[in-house]
Each structure stands twice: as structure tokens, then as C-alpha cells.
Amino acid sequence: MKKYATPTLGFALDILTTPSQDTSLANSASQGDPLGDEPAFTHALTEELLVCLADDADRPARLMEAMRYAVMGPGKRLRPRLVAYAAQACGAKIQDALPAAAAVEFIHAYSLIHDDLPAMDDDDLRRGRPTVHRQFDEALAILAGDALQALAFETLATRLADPRVAARACAELAAAAGPGGLVGGQVDDLAGAEAAPPETEARLLHLRRIHARKTSALITVSLRLGAIIAHADKPTIDRLTRYGQAIGMAFQVTDDLLDAQGDQAAVGKRVGKDLDRGKLTYPSLLGVEASQTHAAQLIATALDSLDTLAGCAEPLRSLARQILGRDR
Amino acid sequence: MKKYATPTLGFALDILTTPSQDTSLANSASQGDPLGDEPAFTHALTEELLVCLADDADRPARLMEAMRYAVMGPGKRLRPRLVAYAAQACGAKIQDALPAAAAVEFIHAYSLIHDDLPAMDDDDLRRGRPTVHRQFDEALAILAGDALQALAFETLATRLADPRVAARACAELAAAAGPGGLVGGQVDDLAGAEAAPPETEARLLHLRRIHARKTSALITVSLRLGAIIAHADKPTIDRLTRYGQAIGMAFQVTDDLLDAQGDQAAVGKRVGKDLDRGKLTYPSLLGVEASQTHAAQLIATALDSLDTLAGCAEPLRSLARQILGRDR
């Protein structure tokens, strides 16, 4: 089984690439792929998500409504885009990556529903809207999350044409979502700062191990799924894995910074809550400025990992730069 | 996608086969299979479950403890046995069915953890022990369930040797566990008697649609996975599916009867709770006697479905008969 927690990223020493002002993700990505521009991809992804979330005589209407509420709300669609852009960077058509793009979004959406529950982070607001258990009820929120997880695997197993690719995709996504990935990271995160060792260096390592699973595992597997769908070779998958680990970590550092400093209206959820809950965060351990520098170094590492990939890795480069500038 | 809710079982008219007094499941099952006797199978299954639930640096110790507590406690292991016996009835070695046997048990265990949560059935007792959220805490119970679901798919995808079999097994298990299966049935069950139509006939159909998903879907898919692992042909898979639908329904009818009449000490969980919660049950709709007759008719249908299978379907026959006589 894949390992997620062992941090393999040193603090990068590379000079930070100046973030591009051009934040259009796919401006140089079309290259003949009909889904190579942003609106076409968003439209195709939405369609894929809705097909998988369609009503059916066996599916209770209220359950499907809660699942669609969670999945179809506003969101950056970061993980589906990583699947699509990785597939494209490895020479596949984005169209062929849509089922995996939908599957990672289902896992992401389920994990947010469960994280927001009263027994967990107890949040009322997510992406500017009531959380699922506030909009519906707690039982339905638990069950909608459960159903989304099953749906993720059903989507991979039934909608990826090649059974070898489907089986491998299920194995990778399950490992990223399971006790050694997403769920394991959430368990250690909930345990809070008290469960961490007292020395700053060890606390930082502890925090990185949490985020390697809670955030980076799903981001990394998104890239790996895209590459696997494109039948990429192992060195390419390894490069995309390093890119994923780096942007995953950077994403979490900026998330902590937003929680510490962000504007609630822009972020779309309550801010300042990590400190209230005694959670370990990068700003609390490193300070704000060093956290910003760390995020920038991670993005430089990410960009470096893409060096030998073909020209159509530009959307991945652009996306890495955007993480530094995010405000939500 | 497979349909679960449309009841296809008529009330069987066959004369009930007298239950055998010999309840040893595998007495005629060895037939040269080293796992063909009960203790050998139990031992091998336990080993498979423990290998999948092993500690690992990335897996938080408390999470794994909760997962093992849920899976390794006392239980009938009905679903793993169905996988194994179906594989055997179709000519495969039980050994080859162990990953799928473990996977269905993980799904079953996760669904029980979540069903017992305060926001759902709010149960303190399961199989004579504190439920997971009582033994640990609510957040860990939710997360242990989530991790077990992921582990089920990881087990299928990584431990079944043939990727085509693995992909199909993931697809079947996901459909059985998802919004049109297990979770969908639970949602409609939680909605209670108030959500059902008023007429007895329609209420009965509503109840059967709930159980077709909440109970029969996972039982049926257990049999299908065994057959798929054995590369069985479609008519054979269809026969095992009918057997599964029938014993699944019978299992639920006897479950309702136990809840209405059973001895709490023997059942291992609180009894009489369905009526307290205003849930639809067979005894409340049909009366106790007619429910018993219905269960017997379903078992007769199940036995009938096995007619053309080879002699090593005897464990499946024996198991069907035991469902009628169960007291927990």
C-alpha cells in the first residue's frame, strides 16, 4: 500500500518563480483537446457529476438532493482539474479522465460533509452556504457522505473503460481515502495540538504528517489517477506525485494562513477556528511570514517537478502559482 | 447500474423444506478444499481481516483499534460465508474468495457503526458489547466507519489477483453499498412508518423495497462476488442472486421477529426498539404468525434457486435453513 505520511519534501531552496499574472488555467492547454479550455471542461465535468448523481427509483430523492447539494455547490474543483490536467500532461484526452475527476470530487465532498458534523469540526457554514447537516439533518448528512464515498468507487469501476486502469484507480483512491490517508490524517488532526510532541521541530513534522494524509493524499492521488489513465510511465507518475505532495502541502499552509488572517466573507466559512480549537497550524508554529515563505518554497518545488513534462503541463504550472495567491 | 429495490420475489408457494437438524454448515463442503470445514474457514477469514486491519505508521493506532473492535467482535460472519460458499458452489477455491469475504464484512461493519450513531438509531449495545461510539467516541466512530468503507474497496482492488474480476467486484460492491443500495435503504428506513403509504398492501411493498436495499443488497452481492470470482456464467449468477434476495428478505423478517419477541440477552442488542421508533416491521404489518410463514416461504424459494447447482451448494442450503431457526 502507498505511504502518505512520511514527509519526503525538504524545504525547497529554489528561487521562487514569480507568479504569473495570467490566472487563466487553460489558456495554453487546448492543444486540440476539445475540453482544453476552462468553460468546456467545467461544463463537461458538471455533466459527468450530474449523470453520476442522477435520480433513480432505488435512490431516495432526499438523499440525492443532499448529495447534489454537497457536490454541486460553489467550489474550486481543484482535484478534478488536477486529474484532467495530469491526464492531459501525459498525453491523454481530458474526456477520458472525467470519471476519475468526478470520483475524487465525490470523495472530497463526502469528507467535507463528515468533517463539518457536530461530532467533528461542528461547522455551520461551508463555501458560504449552510453545511449539509444544517441544511438537511445530521443523519442525512452522515448517509449522504457514506453514499458519496461508495459512488466514487462505483464511478471509477463502471465508467473507466479499461478494467486494469479501473482496478488500479480504485486501489489508489481507496488507499488515499482510507485509514492511512484522508481518514487517518483527520483522526490525528482532531486529536489537536495536545497529542503532538512539545518541541517545535517535532511538532512541525507531526503537522506535516497530518497534512500529508489529510490534504496531500487526495491531491496527489488526483494527479496519479490522471497519469494512470494516460498510461504514463513510472518516472512521470513519480514526478506528478512530487508535484502533488508539494502543492498539497502549500495548499494546507495557505489554508492555515487564510484561517488565521482571511476575511470570512471571501473564505466562505468561519475563520480563526483552528486556534480556538487548539489545532496545530503553520502560522502558530512558524509565524505568518515564515509560513508564507514556506508556501512559496513548496510551489517552487512543485514547478521544478514538472520540468521534464511536455508543454501541455502549463495548466498544472498555472494552478500551482494560483495556490499562492488564493483568498478562499 | 444494478437495481435493488424492485421486489421480484413473489410469495413462494412451494412447500417448506423441513429444516435440517444438522446445523454444521460445511459438513459436506470440504470436497478437497482445505478451507471447506468451518474452523479452517473461520481461521483463514480472521487472518485475512487482521492482515487488512494491520497497524501501519500512517494509520493512527486509535483508529485501527476502533476498526478492529467493530470488525473482530462476535458476529455470525454471514456475508463472508456467503461469498465463500458461493465461490465454492461455482467451483472456485475458498482461499481465492477471502479478499471479497473480508470486503463485504468491512462494509457490513461500517454500516452497523454508522447505524448505531446517536443521529441514527442511537444504540448503546451491539452484539452484547458497547457500540463503537460508546466504547470510543462519536467522531472516531464516524471516521472508523468511513475508513472501513475505503478499506473494503482497497481490499478488493489490491487483493483480488485478476484486475477484471477486481474491477467488476468494486463495481458490484459499490452499487450494493451506495445510494441505490444499503444507504438508500437506510434513508427510507429512518423516514419511518409515516413516510409509507397508508394501505397495508402498499406499506408491505414499501417495507420490502427498504429491505431489498438495506439488507438484501449486501447479502446478494456477497453471493454474486463469490460467483464472479469463480468466473461463473450468467444463469448461475442469476440463480445465486435469487437465492440471495430470498434469504436476505427472510433474514430481515426474522430480524423483525427477534426485535418484536426476542430475548435481549440472546439477541445482544436492545429489543422492541423498532416499534418504539415507529418503524415499519413485518410483524406489525402481517402479524407474527404470517411473518413466520412468510420467512419460511422465502427460505423455500431460496432452496429452490439452488436446484441446478452442484453438490457443493450444500453449505448454502444449510445456511438458508439456519436463518429460520436463528435467535440472534
What angle (nearest 5°) sits at the alpha carbon of residue B69, between those of residues B326 and B224? Answer: 55
Q: How far is A186 from chain B (nearest CA, A)?
A: 8
- Enumerate residues 6+ apart whose C-beta is below 8 A from B39: none
Determine whether the interchain pair A175/B154 forms a contact, defined as Cβ–Cβ distance below 8 Å: yes
H/E stretch holding B130 = strand B129-130
- Enumerate residues 6+ apart whose C-beta is below 8 A from B319: B25, B78, B81, B82, B85, B247
* A325's grid cell: 495567491
> Which residue has cell 488526483?
A222
Round to whole Å and give the CA distance between A62 and A41.
Answer: 28
- At residue A29, the pLDDT reads 44
Round to whole Å and give the CA distance between A300 and A101.
Answer: 25
Determine whether the interchain pair A58/B4 forms a contact, defined as Cβ–Cβ distance below 8 Å: yes
Beta-strand relationship, A129-130 and B125-126: unpaired
Q: Does pLDDT of B30 surpass 70?
A: no
Round to whole Å and give the CA distance between A134 and A116.
Answer: 10
Q: For B28-48, what is the mean pLDDT?
A: 82
Round to whole Å and give the CA distance between A36 and B327.
Answer: 61
* B253's grid cell: 423478517
Domain boundaries, chain B: 38-325
Q: Does pLDDT of B163 surpass 90?
A: yes
**How remote is the C-alpha of A324 from its chain's centroid?**
15
Determine whether the interchain pair A58/B168 forms a contact, defined as Cβ–Cβ distance below 8 Å: no
Nearest residue on chain A to B167, alpha-carbon basis: A167
- At residue B322, the pLDDT reads 92
- Enumerate residues 6+ apart whose C-beta is below 8 A from A123: A115, A116, A131, A269, A270, A273
> pLDDT band at residue B18, thresholds of 50, 70 and 90?
very low
- At residue A53, the pLDDT reads 98
- At residue A251, the pLDDT reads 93
- At residue B20, the pLDDT reads 36
Determine whether the interchain pair A143/B177 forms a contact, defined as Cβ–Cβ distance below 8 Å: no
**pTM of the predicted model, to two decimals?**
0.90
Handedness of CA A244, A245, A250, A255 (dihedral sign): positive
**A208 CB-side CA count, 13 A:** 22
> pLDDT band at residue B16, thresholds of 50, 70 and 90?
very low
- At residue B27, the pLDDT reads 43
- Enumerate residues 6+ apart whose C-beta is below 8 A from B81: B25, B41, B101, B315, B319
- At residue B326, the pLDDT reads 77
Round to whole Å and give the CA distance between A188 and A279.
Answer: 10
- Along the 328 residues of chain A, how does pLDDT read in single tens digits? 455 554 433 332 222 223 333 333 444 444 578 888 889 999 999 999 999 999 999 999 999 999 999 999 988 899 999 999 999 999 999 999 999 999 999 999 999 999 999 999 999 999 899 999 999 999 999 999 999 999 999 999 999 999 999 999 999 999 999 999 999 999 999 998 888 888 888 999 999 999 999 999 999 999 999 999 999 999 999 999 999 999 999 999 999 999 888 666 666 666 677 766 777 899 988 999 999 999 999 999 999 999 888 658 999 999 999 998 876 6
Determine whether the interchain pair B187/A143 forms a contact, defined as Cβ–Cβ distance below 8 Å: yes
Identify all chain A residues contacting B139, using CB atoms and an 8 Å cutoff: 117, 119-120, 190
The more confident residue out of A43 and B27 is A43
| A253 contacts A9 by C-beta, under 8 angstroms | no
Render pLDDT for B227-248 as a digit per residue (tens, 0 to 9): 999 999 999 999 999 999 999 9
- At residue A18, the pLDDT reads 31
Q: How many residues does chain A have?
A: 328
> pLDDT band at residue B3, thresholds of 50, 70 and 90?
low
Q: Looking at residue B278, what DSSP letter applies?
A: T
- At residue A195, the pLDDT reads 86
Render pLDDT for B53-71 as a digit per residue (tens, 0 to 9): 999 999 999 999 999 999 9
Handedness of CA B99, B105, B109, B112 (dihedral sign): positive
Render pLDDT for B37-46 as a digit per residue (tens, 0 to 9): 889 999 999 9
* B237's grid cell: 449468477
**Residue type at position A139:** A
Helix-helix angle A61-72:A38-52, to 10 degrees:
160
Nearest residue on chain A to B155, alpha-carbon basis: A171
- At residue A200, the pLDDT reads 87
Round to whole Å and give the CA distance between B90 and A319.
Answer: 51
Nearest residue on chain B to A53, alpha-carbon basis: B179
The more confident residue out of A16 and B250 is B250
- The 3-state DSSP composition of chain B as helix, strand, coil percent (nearest 5) reads 65, 0, 30
Nearest C-alpha neighbor of A319 from the set A297, A294, A305, A302 = A302
* B193's grid cell: 412508518
Q: How far is A26 from chain B (nearest CA, A)?
A: 32
H/E stretch holding B297 = helix B288-305
- At residue A106, the pLDDT reads 98
**Residue type at position B40:** A
Grouping H, G, I as helix, E, B as strand and the rest as coil, residue B125 is strand
Render pLDDT for B88-129 as a digit per residue (tens, 0 to 9): 999 999 999 999 999 999 999 999 999 999 999 999 999 899
Round to whole Å and give the CA distance between A86 and A106.
Answer: 18
| B219 contacts B246 by C-beta, under 8 angstroms | no
Q: How far is CA B186 from CA B76, B116, B181, B192, B228, in A?
A: 21, 12, 9, 10, 27
- Facing residue for A138 by CB, picked from B119, B150, B151: B119
- Enumerate residues 6+ apart whose C-beta is below 8 A from A178: A184, B147, B150, B151, B154
- At residue A45, the pLDDT reads 98
- Enumerate residues 6+ apart whose C-beta is below 8 A from A78: A219, A251, A319
CATH of domain B38-325: 1.10.600.10
Render pLDDT for B216-229 as a digit per residue (tens, 0 to 9): 999 999 999 999 99
Determine whether the interchain pair B157/A150 forms a contact, defined as Cβ–Cβ distance below 8 Å: no
Determine whether the interchain pair A142/B117 forms a contact, defined as Cβ–Cβ distance below 8 Å: yes
Grouping H, G, I as helix, E, B as strand and the rest as coil, residue B59 is strand
> Which residue has cell 512559496?
A296
- At residue A36, the pLDDT reads 80
Round to whole Å and give the CA distance between A70 and B92.
Answer: 42
- At residue B261, the pLDDT reads 81
**Residue type at position B100:** A
